[in-house]
Structure 1
Amino acid sequence: MPVHIALLRAVNVGGTGKLLMAELRSLCEDLGFRDVKTYIQSGNVLFRSELAAADAARLMDGALARIMGKAPGVIVTSGAQLEKIVASNPFPVAKPNYLMINFLPEAPPPDVLKSLVAPDGEEVHVSGSEIYVHYPNGSGRSRLCLPGLRRATARNLNTVQKLAELAAGMRGT
């Protein structure tokens, strides 16, 4: 049975969009997903399902909308895709925690970088439906403005690597 990784948008440790990972695991099990595992309190969940990635994303997003009052946005991908994203890193010398990979529901328009404002030396690269952003001073201090990221959910390179490793481990069991 295929292993999927769901990346939830707008799920926070505190404040608005708060969702306990135990609740997320339970929701996924109630949806019929198997071998459900979450990774850190930021909306990452690995599971097995025969559903196609897009169908699993729609099902999960709808269930979350009922609980949270609003669909947060769910991207479902595979471990192999995450491995490819890691291997395609356009900024190999960047510190992994200073490199954010922004996952979009579909590829952005070709002119997505036209309105980019990167006053702190941020570097941006678009690849498919992902936008890599290297924040040389950290993302928390950045004044980067890129409207194309509004619908994205971001994970740093460390998290993406760990999710790919966890998925590989699940495939091997």
Structure 2
Amino acid sequence: MKTYIVLLRGINVSGKNKLPMSELRVLLNKLKFQNVKTYIQSGNIILDADEIKSNVCQKIKEGIASKFGYDVPVLARTIDEWEKAIANNPYPTENHKILGFAFLSDIPKEKTFEVNATNDDVYTIIDDVAYIYCPSGMGNTKLTNNLFEKKLKVTATSRNLRTTLKLLELAKA
């Protein structure tokens, strides 16, 4: 049995694609996943499964579509992959509000692209993670999931440093 950290793209606290975490946990247990935990209301899941990562993602994607009617991209990482993503971060970690991790569905062919007017915001792509450093704050950056998806032709979902570290802590507990 493997522990996976699963990220849903586009799940919100209110409005479009609202998905109560309590209902999601019930669904995941019905899908026969073990030790299901969620963290905050934005599509962060920790679970154990006997299946390979791609099957876990597909099962969750189909379950959400069937129960809630949402077509939600699903990404998963093992604990080792998550730890590697954290270790590869090239930016300072003093302020969790200005550092983000855009987890990508695949390793992109391109590693750089032009972005207009990013202030001092920068990014670095290492393997299947785009590290986003935004001194003016993550809420003000043009380095968004939509931009990475458009430019790199992959699915992207971002988490700040605090959430990234907390998900690892929960997965290892």
**Structure 1 residue 135: deviation in Å?**
1.1
What letter matches 2:138 in structure 1? S
RMSD value over aligned CA atoms? 1.7
SS of match in other structure, 1:96: coil
1:102 is matched with: 102
- Aligned counterparts of 2:90 and 2:139: Cα–Cα separation in 1: 21
Q: Does 1:155 align with 2:159?
A: yes
With 118-127 and 143-152 compared, the bigger mean Cα shift is at 143-152
- Aligned counterparts of 1:68 and 1:93: Cα–Cα separation in 2: 37
Structure 1 residues 141 and 93, CA, compared in 2 at 3 Å: closer, same or farther?
A: same
With 80-89 and 123-132 compared, the bigger mean Cα shift is at 80-89
Structure 1 residues 91 and 84, CA, compared in 2 at 3 Å: closer, same or farther?
A: same
**Structure 1 residue 118: deviation in Å?**
4.4
Structure 1 length as normaliser, TM-score?
0.89
Any unmatched runs of 5+ in structure 1? none
CA contact (8 A) 2:132 2:143 kept: no
1:136 is matched with: 135
**Structure 1 residue 113: deviation in Å?**
2.4
CA contact (8 A) 2:97 2:138 kept: no
- Aligned counterparts of 1:50 and 1:39: Cα–Cα separation in 2: 22
Q: Percent identity?
A: 33
- Aligned counterparts of 2:121 and 2:24: Cα–Cα separation in 1: 33
What letter matches 2:100 in structure 1? M
2:47 is matched with: 47
| 1:168 pairs with one of 153, 161, 172 | 172
**Structure 1 residue 109: deviation in Å?**
2.4
Structure 2 length as normaliser, TM-score?
0.89
- Aligned counterparts of 1:107 and 1:116: Cα–Cα separation in 2: 20
- Aligned counterparts of 1:121 and 1:155: Cα–Cα separation in 2: 19
**Structure 1 residue 148: deviation in Å?**
2.2
What letter matches 1:116 in structure 2? V
